[in-house]
Amino acid sequence: MTPNPRPSFTHWLKSGNPWVWMTAGAVSLSLVMVFGLLLIIAINGLAHFWPARVAKVVQERADGTHETLLGEFVDAETVTAARVRDSGGRVPPDATVVKRLLLKVGNRDLGDSDFRWVPEPEITTPDYPAEAVVIERSEWGNFYGFITGLSEHGKALDGANVWAELAPRLQRGHDLREQIAHIEKREIGSVNYQLEQLRLRERVLGKAGDTAGQQALLAPRAVLEARFAALSDTLAGLNSEIKRDGLLVTTVTGVERTIPIEKIVRLYRPNQMRWREKIAHYCVKLGEFVSDEPREANTEGGVFPAIFGTVLMVMVMSVLVTPFGVIAAVYLREYAKPGPITSAIRIAVNNLAGVPSVVYGVFGFGFFVYFLGGNIDRLFFADKLPAPTFGTPGLLWSALTLALLTVPVVIVATEEGLARIPRAIREGSLALGATKAETLWRTVLPMATPAMMTGLILAVARAAGEVAPLMMVGVVKLAPSLPLDGDFPYLHLDRKFMHLGFHIFDVGFQSPNVEAARPLVYATALLLVVIIMSLNLAAIQIRNRLREKYNAADH
């Protein structure tokens, strides 16, 4: 930028070049932060599913005690020597910093915590025993140890080839568990739902004094109750059958345990696994993450209900927001008389996009849930009172609140799209004798569809990431049932639902075992980032293509 190849320092300073570099530095810093953040989420989120090797180390503490530990290294950090000494760790006298390793030792049921920070100087070189096994359980988290045998009805099986016998037994346990889950969730749930409906109808009839009607309900009720009893019996049979098998295991310190097969979700020996197996394992775990229900207070298992809840809520919101947003935009751009009032309204609508989302949450909570919902209950669901139907946070109110929150986005995008349509096209249509409505409907609006799409996508992206308002109008940490199921009316807009963003907040901040929950939160965050980034990129793509199209039409 300067003509002189080797300027003097003062000249260089005067040229302003260093300041230009300073501004360039700001951009570099922003870019490093942006991509660093995405990288952190991606690495932490994706690493969780990888079957890490199981290490066996001996920790020799400052007080001379020894302990053998078996587990996965999941994290490492350096800390100052003083901090390690404060917490009673052993530090070489001349060290200033010490590396600390986080070892996931699992076995939460055996007392101690399942994660251990161990200072590196205290441990021996890790050894990776080939027989070490990781057992994912449906309770108490992972088990790390060794398999010693099998048991049936509480008696150890002698001389059995453990690994050969294990696979069919695991499969059997898995099948039985599936059956139980199906009966518990689907069939009994459905019967219960129908019984509840009957009970309500009975109550209504009872209030009206219609005893004949009540009598008529007895027959279906008996059928349902018989069905319930039959299901309960089947369930009891399955439950006793699944309890047959047990796995005899021992921890690295020699504590013996029997793990019921029914509690085993997955079992593997990571130190023996080859790359192909590891990749397969990774894919299965990833699949489980997006398609399974959460376990253990949301710290294990999948996030399927949260994905489902997020998607369903966003879909209901889209159905609400698109027509109204488009109509408002068409009104503002095509019908409202241009003048100070219209531009004031336009500014107001624009600014509403900047109003904090928590304010919308407060409004939704007060107006939709209590005012509208309370009145709907009094008018239409009076027989269920005092148990609220719509007078409590739920899917519908969440979708409405977010629709209100995102309607400015749709309006602004649609208006922009309408403004971009070349005048020649409208004039052409009008000149051919079309009415204004026909011009709009047949020519202008179809051409503005990509703009509406952009608006809708941006609205969806914003809605999918919002959490603060939803905390007041409908999300819960664990919903007992999905808002969409096989019972009439299939879509239950009054139900509470789970949401990816709230899941992150809840598991990351309200969970009793943050260390265990952390990888899952990263994975959930990654999922949410991917969804939202793709939506935004799609919107940008559509917008860019749209611009090119109309730029071409203009010239």
Partner 1 sequence: MAYLTVTCATDAELTKNLPPVTDANLSDLAKAELSHRGWRMLKDRLFGLVTAIGGVTVILAILTIFFYLLYVVFPLLRGAALTTEWRSTAPLGAVRYLALNEYADVAFAVNDDGSYRFEPVKTGDALVSGNLVPRGERLTAAHGGQHAQATFALGFASGKVLLVRPSYVVNFTGNVRHTAPQLTYPAGVAPINAAPAGSVIKLVTAEASGEAITIIALTAANELYLTHLSRQPSLLEDDSTFEQHQVQIPLAEPLPAFLMMDVDQSELYVISATGHVTYYDIRNKEAPKLVQDLQVTAADTKITAAAFLSGGTSLLLGDNRGTVTQWIPVRDEQNNYRLTRIRRFTALSGSILAITPEYYRKGFAALDASGTLGLFHTTSEATLLIVPHLVNAPRALAYSAHADVLAMVDGTEHLTLRGVSNAHPEVSWRALWGKVWYEGRSQPEFIWQSSSASSDFEPKFSLTPLAFGTLKAAVYAMAFAIPVAILGALYTAYFMHARLRIYVKPSIEIMAALPTVILGFLAGLWLAPLIETHLIGVLGATLLLPLTFFTAALVWSRVPGLLRHRVPDGCEVLLLIPVVCVVLWLAMDLSQPLEQLWFGGNLPRWLTRELGLTYDQRNSLVVGIAMGFAVIPNIFSISEDAIFGVPRQLTTGSLALGATPWQTVTRVVLLTASPGIFSAIMIGLGRAVGETMIVLMSTGNTPIIDASIFTGFRALSANIAVEMPESEINSTHYRILFLAALVLFAVTFIFNTVAEVVRQRLRAKYGNL
The Cα 522–Cα 468 span in angstroms is 19
DSSP-assigned beta bridge partners for residue 68 = 58
- The residue whose two tokens read 């500014």 is 347
* Phi/psi at 57 (5° precision): -130, 155
Instruction: Provide DSSP, 226-258.
Output: HHHHHHHHHHHHHHHHHTSEEEEEE-TT--EEE
Q: Which of 206, 220, 338, 480 binds partner 1 (CB under 8 A)?
A: 338
- Give the binding range for partner 1 (CB under 8 A) out of 48-56, 156-164, 174-182, 326-334: 326-334
Measured from the CB atom, the residue of 246 and 417 that comes closer to partner 1 is 417
Q: Which of 331, 376, 416, 425 binds partner 1 (CB under 8 A)?
A: 331
Spatial contact of 342 and 332, defined as CB atoms under 8 Å apart: yes
Q: Examine residue 2 and tell whether it contacts partner 1 (CB under 8 A).
A: yes
Q: Which of 115, 308, 360, 550 binds partner 1 (CB under 8 A)?
A: 360
Which residues inside 367-386 make contact with partner 1, applying CB under 8 A?
367, 370
Q: Which of 272, 343, 309 is nearest to 497 (CA)?
A: 309
CA 109 to each of CA 73, 150, 246, 255, 507: distance values in angstroms, whole numbers, following the listed order: 20, 20, 16, 12, 21
* Phi/psi at 260 (5° precision): -60, 135
> What minimum distance in Å lies between the beta carbon of 195 and partner 1?
30
What token pair was written down for 45?
Answer: 């989120």
The Cα 246–Cα 157 span in angstroms is 10
Q: Give 182's contacts (C-beta < 8 A, 6+ positions apart).
A: none
Peptide bond into 356 cis (omega under 30): no
> What minimum distance in Å lies between the beta carbon of 11 and partner 1?
10
Measured from the CB atom, the residue of 416 and 487 that comes closer to partner 1 is 416
> What minimum distance in Å lies between the beta carbon of 114 and partner 1?
17
- The residue whose two tokens read 């809605």 is 463
Alpha helices, DSSP H, located in 256-339: 275-291, 304-330
Q: Which of 508, 504, 540 is nearest to 525 (CA)?
A: 504
- The residue whose two tokens read 């107001």 is 348
> What minimum distance in Å lies between the beta carbon of 346 and partner 1?
9
Q: What share of the chain is helix, strand, coil (3-state, %, to 5)?
A: 60, 15, 25
Q: Which of 366, 428, 446, 480 binds partner 1 (CB under 8 A)?
A: 366
Which residues inside 58-97 make contact with partner 1, applying CB under 8 A?
77-83, 85-86, 96-97
DSSP-assigned beta bridge partners for residue 37 = none
Q: Which of 67, 334, 416, 487 binds partner 1 (CB under 8 A)?
A: 334
Measured from the CB atom, the residue of 366 and 446 that comes closer to partner 1 is 366
Q: Examine residue 365 and tell whether it contacts partner 1 (CB under 8 A).
A: yes
Spatial contact of 517 and 298, defined as CB atoms under 8 Å apart: yes
> What minimum distance in Å lies between the beta carbon of 554 and partner 1?
17
Which residues inside 436-495 make contact with partner 1, applying CB under 8 A?
436-438, 440-441, 458, 461-462, 464-468, 471-472
Q: Examine residue 345 and tell whether it contacts partner 1 (CB under 8 A).
A: yes
> What minimum distance in Å lies between the beta carbon of 461 and partner 1?
6
Measured from the CB atom, the residue of 317 and 330 that comes closer to partner 1 is 330
For residues 19 to 58, the per-residue mask of contacts with partner 1, x marking binding by CB under 8 A and - elsewhere, is xxxxxxxxxxxxxxxxx-x--xx-----------------
Q: Which of 93, 111, 354, 386 binds partner 1 (CB under 8 A)?
A: 354
What token pair was written down for 334?
Answer: 């095509």
Q: Examine residue 355 and tell whether it contacts partner 1 (CB under 8 A).
A: yes
> What minimum distance in Å lies between the beta carbon of 253 and partner 1?
30
Which residues inside 381-420 make contact with partner 1, applying CB under 8 A?
393, 404, 407-408, 411
- Give the binding range for partner 1 (CB under 8 A) out of 56-64, 147-155, 260-268, 500-508: 500-508
Spatial contact of 443 and 381, defined as CB atoms under 8 Å apart: no
Measured from the CB atom, the residue of 149 and 394 that comes closer to partner 1 is 394
> What minimum distance in Å lies between the beta carbon of 462 and partner 1?
7
For residues 224 to 263, the per-residue mask of contacts with partner 1, x marking binding by CB under 8 A and - elsewhere, is ----------------------------------------
The Cα 116–Cα 68 span in angstroms is 12
Spatial contact of 132 and 145, defined as CB atoms under 8 Å apart: yes
Number of residues counted as binding partner 1 (CB under 8 A): 119
Q: What is the DSSP letter of 182?
A: I
For residues 510 to 539, the per-residue mask of contacts with partner 1, x marking binding by CB under 8 A and - elsewhere, is ----x---x--x---x--xx--xx--xx--
> What minimum distance in Å lies between the beta carbon of 447 and partner 1?
16
> What minimum distance in Å lies between the beta carbon of 314 and partner 1?
13
Spatial contact of 490 and 15, defined as CB atoms under 8 Å apart: no
- Give the binding range for partner 1 (CB under 8 A) out of 121-129, 197-205, 329-337, 381-389: 329-337
| Backbone Cα Rg of the chain | 31
Q: Which of 247, 249, 285 is nearest to 264 (CA)?
A: 247
Measured from the CB atom, the residue of 30 and 211 that comes closer to partner 1 is 30
